[in-house]
């Protein structure tokens, strides 16, 4: 059987290539410090694991979930948003349960767009945003995220034609890969853009819990009028180290939520009920594990900044997420520098051009190894005498 043309048009999986290179180096017995990954390195907190263990023992959880998820989990998501962001959500009409936020990001254009309509994506941005383009048979533009604008898109640089034809616009703050955060003024501009040009706004809030220097990232839904134009996608993967559990939710605009639910009615029978029960425990219980996690990432971030500045590598400190966006030294492209670090000093990083054309000239470094390994990585790079 031949693959469909739609399948052939899917972009290459960027991270698969990186993993292959790292695994090859490790198989050769090399001590690779992997700063290129985006997979949380800490375990899921014990109280969440215990909640799952208890839920699995309950025969009720062995049955199909309700198609649109359990009432308890949707209510927990709404309670979480009220507690954390002072946002009121109707659990029945303004919450959609997701198998992690990635699937929601990829399926949204299928639910909301027609062939050859246009969406707008950040550049650089999470590579899997592009997966929806051939699957939904749509077109896309990109918005440059530039350092001089704090890695926020400048809507004034979009042409009227671009604004008028855009049906969905994706944002992601705290940002992967740049580590930038958004402010209230920017989200107010975003709501105005959505209202003035009938654009659906999709805010990927995957790193919503991770802000530094005691600055808590803000939710798009906190902005006046946000629910009139868009939704926000939240995942438990980063906040609670539950990446492998595949559980998250979309929140906000009723029409967009209903479109997700209708599509998922035909694709899934929702997430394993025991996982939904454990996820409810994560959202509703004591949040000290989240505070501890942010403190851990802050220490790693500070170690990275201190070491980079010590060797003369002029970098901007990330304000959120668990990534840092580092400029490439003269004489290298993003890809050649990433390969050079792996080949010469066994340090793996993600080449910035893998996140889009405006990622050229940068590498992405993850704060997902312990402090000592981060310090060791920069010491290895120091030995190359590039700075």
Q: Whole-angstrom Cα distance, residue 113 to residue 331?
A: 43
In sequence order, what are the beta bridge partners of 260?
none
Q: For the whole prediction, is pTM greater than 0.85?
A: yes
Q: Whole-angstrom Cα distance, residue 132 to residue 105?
A: 8
Q: Whole-angstrom Cα distance, residue 352 to residue 314?
A: 17
Q: Check: CB of residue 225 under 8 Å from CB of residue 195.
A: yes
Q: Whole-angstrom Cα distance, residue 354 to residue 356?
A: 6
Q: Show the low-confidence residues of the chain (pLDDT under 70).
A: none
Same domain (yes/no): 187, 87: yes
Query: Quick one: which of 375, 364, 380 has its CA closest to 38?
Result: 364
State the pLDDT at residue 68. 96
C-alpha separations of 233 from 108, 163, 200, 264 in Å: 11, 23, 13, 15
Same domain (yes/no): 230, 106: yes
Peptide bond into 5 cis (omega under 30): no
Which of 242, 265, 284 is the last residue in one of the domains?
A: 284
pLDDT tens-digit series, residues 225-268: 999 999 999 999 999 999 999 999 999 999 999 999 999 999 99
What is the domain count for the chain?
A: 2
State the pLDDT at residue 11. 87
pLDDT tens-digit series, residues 255-304: 999 999 999 999 999 999 999 999 999 999 999 999 999 999 999 999 99
C-alpha separations of 211 from 84, 173, 206, 322, 354 in Å: 14, 10, 12, 9, 24
At residue 261, φ and ψ (nearest 5 deg) are -65, -40
Same domain (yes/no): 171, 314: no
Q: Check: CB of residue 209 under 8 Å from CB of residue 238.
A: yes
Residue spans of beta strands (DSSP E) within the chain: 33-34, 95-98, 118-123, 139-144, 166-171, 200-204, 230-235, 248-252, 323-327, 347-348, 350-351, 362-366
State the pLDDT at residue 214. 93
Which of 284, 308, 326 is the last residue in one of the domains?
A: 284
What are the DSSP calls for 322-384, one per residue? Answer: SEEEEEPPTT--HHHHHHHHHHHH-EE-EEGGGG-GGGTTEEEEE--S-HHHHHHHHHHHHTT
**Burial annotation 352-372 (CB, 10 A radius, 16+ → b, else e):** bbbbbebbbebbbbbbbbebe
Name the residue with tokens 């902005």. Answer: 223
CATH of the domain at 368: 3.90.1150.10
Peptide bond into 338 cis (omega under 30): no
State the pLDDT at residue 202. 98
State the pLDDT at residue 33. 96
Q: Is residue 387 part of a domain?
A: no
CATH of the domain at 152: 3.40.640.10
Tokens, residue 206: 């995957």
* Interior angle at CA 164, CA 158 and CA 169, nearest 5: 65
State the pLDDT at residue 84. 98
Q: Check: CB of residue 187 under 8 Å from CB of residue 171.
A: no
Which of 284, 316, 337 is the last residue in one of the domains?
A: 284
Same domain (yes/no): 249, 125: yes
State the pLDDT at residue 81. 98
State the pLDDT at residue 18. 82
Give me the domain span that covers residue 371.
5-44+288-382
Query: Quick one: which of 246, 150, 250 has its CA closest to 200?
Result: 250
């Amino acid at each position: 059987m031949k693959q469909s043309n739609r399948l052939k048009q899917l972009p290459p999986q960027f991270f698969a290539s990186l993993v292959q290179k790292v695994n090859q180096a490790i198989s050769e017995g090399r001590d690779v410090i992997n700063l290129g990954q985006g997979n949380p390195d800490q375990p899921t907190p014990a109280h969440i694991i215990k909640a799952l263990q208890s839920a699995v023992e309950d025969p009720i959880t062995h049955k199909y979930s309700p198609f649109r998820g359990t009432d308890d989990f949707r209510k927990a998501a709404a309670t979480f948003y009220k507690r954390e962001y002072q946002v009121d959500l109707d659990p029945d009409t303004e919450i959609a349960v997701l198998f992690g936020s990635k699937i929601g990001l990829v399926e949204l254009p299928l639910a909301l767009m027609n062939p050859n309509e246009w969406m707008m994506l950040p550049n650089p941005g999470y590579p899997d945003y592009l997966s929806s383009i051939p699957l939904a048979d749509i077109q896309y533009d990109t918005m440059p995220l530039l350092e001089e604008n704090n890695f926020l898109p400048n809507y004034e640089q979009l042409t009227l034609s671009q604004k008028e034809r855009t049906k969905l616009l994706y944002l992601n703050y705290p940002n992967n890969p740049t580590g930038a955060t958004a402010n209230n003024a920017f989200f107010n501009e975003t709501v105005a853009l959505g209202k003035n040009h009938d654009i659906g706004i999709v805010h990927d809030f995957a790193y919503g819990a991770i802000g530094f220097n005691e600055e808590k990232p803000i939710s798009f839904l906190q902005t006046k009028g946000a629910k009139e134009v868009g939704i926000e996608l939240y995942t438990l993967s980063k906040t609670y180290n539950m990446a492998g559990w595949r559980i998250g939710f979309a929140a906000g605009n009723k029409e967009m939520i209903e479109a997700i639910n209708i599509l998922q009615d035909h694709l899934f029978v929702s997430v394993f009920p025991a996982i939904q029960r454990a996820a409810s425990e994560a959202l509703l219980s004591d949040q000290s594990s989240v505070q501890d996690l942010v403190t851990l990432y802050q220490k790693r971030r500070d170690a990275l900044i201190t070491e980079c500045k010590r060797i003369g590598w002029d970098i901007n400190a990330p304000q959120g997420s668990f990534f840092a966006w580092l400029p490439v030294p003269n004489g290298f492209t993003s890809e050649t520098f990433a390969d050079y670090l792996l080949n010469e000093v066994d340090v793996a990083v993600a080449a910035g051009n893998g996140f889009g054309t405006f990622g050229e000239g940068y590498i992405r470094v993850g704060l997902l190894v312990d402090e000592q390994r981060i310090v060791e990585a920069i010491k290895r790079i120091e030995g190359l005498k590039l700075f």
